[in-house]
Amino acid sequence: MPFDKQTSLASPTGADLNLYVKYAATDPRAVIQINHGLAEHAARYARFADY
């Protein structure tokens, strides 16, 4: 997967929430957080993260 870091967080109910991080190649001008639905996968947004 083309993300720089993968980790997980525990939800209040104890479920693991996967977290993928893509670091900027240059000084960032903004931070964008993408949340997706249950029927999707984070890899679907990898090319968008590279943009």
Q: Inform me whether the pLDDT recorded for 40 exceeds 80.
A: no
Q: Which residue has the higher pLDDT, 6 or 36?
A: 6
Q: What is the DSSP letter of 34?
A: -
Q: For 8-35, what is each residue's pLDDT tens digit?
A: 999 999 999 888 888 888 888 888 887 7
Q: Residue 14, by phi and psi: left (phi above 0), alpha (psi -120 to 50) or beta?
A: left
Task: Among 5-9, 21-25, 33-37, 38-42, name the most confident range.
Answer: 5-9
All residues at 6 or more sequence positions from 7 whose CB lies less than 8 Å from its CB, including other chains: 18, 19, 21
d(CA 36, CA 24): 21
pLDDT of residue 1: 52
Spatial neighbors of 45 by CB under 8 A, at least 6 apart, are: 34, 36
Q: Which residue has the higher pLDDT, 42 or 11?
A: 11
